[in-house]
Amino acid sequence: MAISPLAPAAFPDLPVIDGVTFAAAAAGVRYQGRTDVMLAILAPGSAVAGVFTRSATRSAPVLDCQAKIGGDPSGPAAILVNSGNSNAFTGRNGVEAVAALTSAVEQATGVAQARVFTASTGVIGEPLPYDRITAKLADLAAHQDAANISDAARAIMTTDTFPKGASATVNVAGKQVKIAGIAKGSGMIAPDMATMLVYIFTDAVIGQAGLQALVSGINDQTFNCITVDSDTSTSDTLIMGATGASGVDVTGNAHFTQALHGVMLDLAHQVVRDGEGATKFVTVDVIGATDDSDARKVAMAIANSPLVKTAIAGQDANWGRVVMAVGKSGAAADRDRLSIRFGDITVAENGWRAPDYSEDAASAYMKNPELTIGVDLRLGNGHSTVWTCDLTHGYIDINADYRS
Amino acid sequence: MAISPLAPAAFPDLPVIDGVTFAAAAAGVRYQGRTDVMLAILAPGSAVAGVFTRSATRSAPVLDCQAKIGGDPSGPAAILVNSGNSNAFTGRNGVEAVAALTSAVEQATGVAQARVFTASTGVIGEPLPYDRITAKLADLAAHQDAANISDAARAIMTTDTFPKGASATVNVAGKQVKIAGIAKGSGMIAPDMATMLVYIFTDAVIGQAGLQALVSGINDQTFNCITVDSDTSTSDTLIMGATGASGVDVTGNAHFTQALHGVMLDLAHQVVRDGEGATKFVTVDVIGATDDSDARKVAMAIANSPLVKTAIAGQDANWGRVVMAVGKSGAAADRDRLSIRFGDITVAENGWRAPDYSEDAASAYMKNPELTIGVDLRLGNGHSTVWTCDLTHGYIDINADYRS
């Protein structure tokens, strides 16, 4: 699998977060010749917050994590993630697998089962061969290292073509607080529910309730604003752990909120940049809607339209398909007020092609790897920005034989 | 463009409908070397009913037709359709084009402008060169023939790979009543609003209000139950004309209703069979939902899922993606009651893979060109059936350079 042309130049140097260690191993869950399991351990007292898929068919690990979030934080916590098998729609076997894994983590590390958060990602509906993972736990416990976060980022990849990481360092009251996060996601990516797999760590001091509110709020503006293919995973999980090792309380601190927003947006964008088969990174910017909800409907209708996405893949300035998507979105729209721009080029306004429209200029713009589609509905103050990628032969190649 | 592998063997022999004549011509609106305009003329007194897209950005011809449906039926009526340009999002120019065309039809045929129904299909947002069409009207008026319906079916094609027709003959009170219809549609096909371009004719006697109610009702169970790509056109139009030439009143006649349902379903299925790039015709059958509306949400989530559609293209029995689509649909669903079948093969039940699941049997089934995905939610009596096709490289080929 070639690396996405939209990938960052390299995996970033992530700062060590005091109070968190990582290890990765090759358990052969499904993939051979690569790591596929990661174990992270967080120091006693770490606050752990989470956001999860709202799918009605969510996986056993998701249900288990949801039950555990908000529990007593006095002991250490652990995060165990495997790729290759999602342990979703696996019935009683799925529940047994989660119990076996969390119990084995407790045995290997001393972290209480009630504080072990698992996630599985990969094929749906096949029993998880969890004994392959438990066989690696002693090894994973023995090799814990604060510097191993990039190994963890690699171990959780499925159809991803590059590992995803982002970080920030914030000054709060004259002291430094650090944030580092990793993510995986490439296909079956749609917002409106939750996200893909994302793990973010900070050495800040913050209570569980405060951390949860912060993460949920920012999630709505970042991971919930991306879409690759309109399909929502059964396994989407975002977990954030705050170890408190810096001794700096960030509760209500605007700089910390802004930095975390930056890290989460960066990771969300990296997921889109690794969208299956993607060759274009597209920002869809809608303003002038009756309200924000209508703006989001229009933005998502554009971002999820197969015809808009294939036109972008073909570098075709086919703004008529944007008109179509606005029309089908269900949002209030007045055809004769609507304006559409590609980057800075106004292509349509007042219900028709812009008077100075130049096909050559619009076509030249479409050759850029990063594009902005702007829509002004001119009805009100509602606005929404979402991010997506194009729909290419690569997507078909990947998904017409993912299992085989 | 190769003909769809799902195409019928040949265009059917459609019966002549007394009171309707047709002609087609090559006006060069956009395509060269093929017909691209058709004119149909209906006898005085014909009832004309219509169903149209609910897109907020619908085209000038759609708005014009909507204003005219239900008008005084005493004179003759005409239907003028061009392919290659949709006259949608063309501002004042679009309105002028419709006025020029309907006025020219009146001049050439004597049909009052208020009874001339136009439709345009093709690229969005480019001014319609309507003078190319008006230049052909004398010719189209001179060559009207009741036997020319297949020429009309060909002239309205855009990315269609075959012309679409269907018919029925019904015995009512010992006399024959005939129905014949044509359709075009291949991409930008999504239900929930209206349809593509469909023209149906009958020699039955039925009032306008009765015909409208009949067509609207059946439309909800036929064209509104198909999807190729989840994108809804700005131009969708279904018009049905009843000439009354048979002298047989079909108002409230169950045989006629059933026959019309059959013709509309046949045409709707042909649109799916000609779905852009399609290699599989897929029936999605959902039962056991809380209500019909929830069943439809689930059926449409499956039918529009890029991951389900690419798995079908790859002949991969990836039922986990069906689980995913059920989960994201927003409908009430209990993972542990859900069962899924491919044809007659139960692949999943009670929240897990079926106990006697055979990958070989499921894979063998997926090689069929016509597939059924069945879902039983086991919650209530709601049911819904929708029809769709797979998502292939052919769809990308067609749509990554449709305009150029």
Residues 306-345 of B with CB under 8 A from A: 306-307, 310-311, 313-314, 316, 318-321, 323-329, 331-336, 338
Residue A189 is predicted with a pLDDT of: 63
B307: nearest CB among A94, A187, A329: A187
| Residue that wins the pLDDT comparison between A370 and A200 | A370
Nearest chain A residue (CA) to B336: A91
Q: Is the distance from CB of A241 to CB of A42 less than 8 angstroms?
A: yes
What pLDDT is recorded for position A218?
A: 84
Is the predicted pLDDT of residue A15 greater than 50, yes or no? Answer: yes
Percent of chain B whose predicted confidence (pLDDT) is above 90: 51
Interface test with B, best of A396, A398, A401, A404 (most B CBs within 10 A): A396
Q: Residue A281 pLDDT more than 70?
A: yes
Residues from chain A contacting residue B338 (CB–CB below 8 Å)? 57
Reply yes or no on whether B195 is catalytic: yes
- Residue B90 pLDDT class (50, 70, 90 cuts): confident
Three-state DSSP class for B120? strand
Q: Is B231 on the interface with A (CB under 8 A)?
A: yes
| pLDDT tops 50 at residue A222 | yes
Rg of chain A over Cα atoms, rounded to whole angstroms, equals: 22
Q: Which two tokens stand for residue B148?
A: 């020319």
| Mean per-residue pLDDT over chain B, rounded | 89
Q: What is the pLDDT of residue B277?
A: 86
**B57·A321 Cβ contact <8 A:** no
Q: Give the burial class of B374: count Cβ atoms within 10 A of its Cβ; 0-12 exposed, 13-18 middle, 19 or more buried.
A: buried
Looking at the complex, report in whole angstroms how far the Cα of residue A157 sits from the nearest Cα belonging to chain B. Answer: 18
Q: Does A302 touch chain B (CB under 8 A)?
A: no
Write down the pLDDT at residue A402. 55
Residue B359 touches chain A, beta carbons under 8 Å = no
Q: Per the CB < 8 Å rule, is A304 touching B230?
A: yes
Q: Which of A336-350, B21-35, B59-73, B175-189 has the lowest mean pLDDT?
A: B175-189
Considering only CA atoms, which of B218, B304, B300 is closest in space to residue B266?
A: B218
Q: Is the pLDDT of residue B188 over 70?
A: no
What's residue A287's pLDDT? Answer: 96
Please give, one letter per residue, the 3-state secondary structure of chain A: CCCCCCCCCCCCCCCCCCCEEEEEECCCCCCCCCCCEEEEEECCCCEEEEEECCCCCCCHHHHHHHHHCCCCCCCCEEEEEEEEECCCCCHHHHHHHHHHHHHHHHHHHCCCHHHEEEEEEEECCCCCCHHHHHCCHHHHHHCCECCCHHHHHHHCCCCCCCCEEEEEEEEECCEEEEEEEEEECCCCCCCCCCCCEEEEEECCECCHHHHHHHHHHHHHHCHHHEECCCCCCCCCEEEEEECCCCCCECCCCHHHHHHHHHHHHHHHHHHHHCCCCCCCEEEEEEEEECCHHHHHHHHHHHHHCHHHHHHHHCCCCCCHHHHHHHHHCCCCCCCCCCEEEECCEEEEECCEECCCCCHHHHHHHHCCCEEEEEEECCCCCEEEEEEEECCCHHHHHHHCCCCC
End-to-end alpha carbon distance in chain B: 15
**The pLDDT of residue B264:** 84
Residues of A in contact with B231 (CB under 8 A): 305-307, 321, 324-325, 328
pLDDT given at position A115: 94
Torsion from C-alpha of A290, A295, A298, A303, nearest 10 degrees: 170
Question: Hey, is the C-beta of B352 within 8 angstroms of any chain A C-beta?
Answer: yes
How near does any CA of chain B get to the CA of A402, in Å?
Answer: 8
The pLDDT of B334-361, averaged and rounded, is 91
To the nearest whole Å, the CA of B85 is away from the closest chain A CA by 11
List A residues 77-136 in contact with B (Cβ-Cβ < 8 A). Answer: 86, 88-94, 123-127
Tell me if A384 sits within 8 A of A331, measured CB to CB. Answer: no
**pLDDT on residue B351:** 82
| Under 8 Å between Cβ of B261 and B214 | no
Q: Which of residues 256-285 of B touch A (CB under 8 A)?
A: none
Q: Are A404 and B316 an interchain contact pair (Cβ–Cβ within 8 Å)?
A: yes
Chain A nearest-CA distance from B146, in A, is: 35
- Would you say residue B192 has pLDDT above 60? no
Q: Which residues 6+ apart lie within 8 Å of B274 measured at CB?
A: B4, B6, B7, B160, B161, B162, B164, B185, B186
Type of residue at A27: A
Is A316 close to B401, i.e. CB distance below 8 A?
yes
- pLDDT, mean over chain A: 88
More confident residue, B238 or A40: A40
Mutate which of B54, B55, B96, B379 to disrupt the A interface (most A C-beta within 10 Å)? B55
Q: For residue A52, give how far its alpha carbon lies from the nearest alpha carbon of chain B (Å).
A: 13
In Å, how far is B206's CA from the nearest CA of chain A? 33
Enumerate the residues of chain B whose CB falls inside 8 A of the CB of residue A56.
326-329, 331-335
pLDDT confidence tier of residue A404, bands split at 50, 70 and 90:
very low
Residue of higher predicted confidence among A27 and B173:
A27
CB contact under 8 A, A306 and B306: yes
Mean pLDDT of B266-289: 89
Tally A–B CB contacts below 8 A: 224
Give the total residue count for chain A.
404
pTM value is 0.81
Return d(Cα B133, Cα A338) in angstroms, integer: 29
Greater confidence (B401 vs B305) lies with B305
B367 phi and psi, to 5 degrees?
A: -80, -15
CB contact under 8 A, B314 and A123: no
CB-count exposure of residue A210 (10 Å: 0-12, 13-18, 19+)? middle
For residue A122, the model assigns a pLDDT of 85
Return the minimum-mean-pLDDT range out of A157-171, A192-206, B328-342. A192-206
Closest partner CB to A352 (pick from B90, B403, B404): B90
Chain A residues with CB inside 8 Å of B233's CB?
A: 324
Mean pLDDT confidence for B116-138:
93
The pLDDT-based confidence of A403 (bands split at 50, 70, 90) is: low
Taking 80 as the threshold, does the pLDDT of residue A192 lie above it? Answer: no
Chain A residues with CB-CB distance to B350 below 8 A? 91
pLDDT in tens, A148-190: 999 999 999 988 888 988 888 998 888 889 998 888 877 666 6
Q: What is the pLDDT of residues B353-403, one digit of tens each?
A: 899 999 999 999 999 999 999 999 999 999 999 889 999 998 888 888 755
The pLDDT of A365-373, averaged and rounded, is: 95
pLDDT score at A52 = 83
Res. A193: pLDDT tops 50: no
Is there a contact between A125 and B317 (Cβ–Cβ < 8 Å)? no
pLDDT band at A225 (very low <50, low <70, confident <90, very high): confident
Name beta bridge partners: A319: none
By mean pLDDT, which of A85-99, A193-207, B184-198, B301-315 is the weakest? B184-198
**What percent of chain A is modeled with pLDDT above 70?**
96
pLDDT at B91 over 70: yes
Instruction: Find the range with the poorest average confidence among B181-190, B197-206, B250-259.
Output: B181-190
If pLDDT is split at 50, 70 and 90, which confidence band does B194 have? Answer: very low
B231/A392 CB distance under 8 A:
no
Domains and CATH numbers, chain B: 20-273 (3.60.70.12), 281-399 (3.10.20.340)
Q: Do A57 and B399 touch (CB under 8 A)?
A: no
Residue B5 pLDDT grade (very low, low, confident, very high; cuts 50, 70, 90) = confident
pLDDT, tens digit, 9 for 90 and up, residues B212-252? 888 888 888 887 777 777 776 677 777 788 888 899 998 98
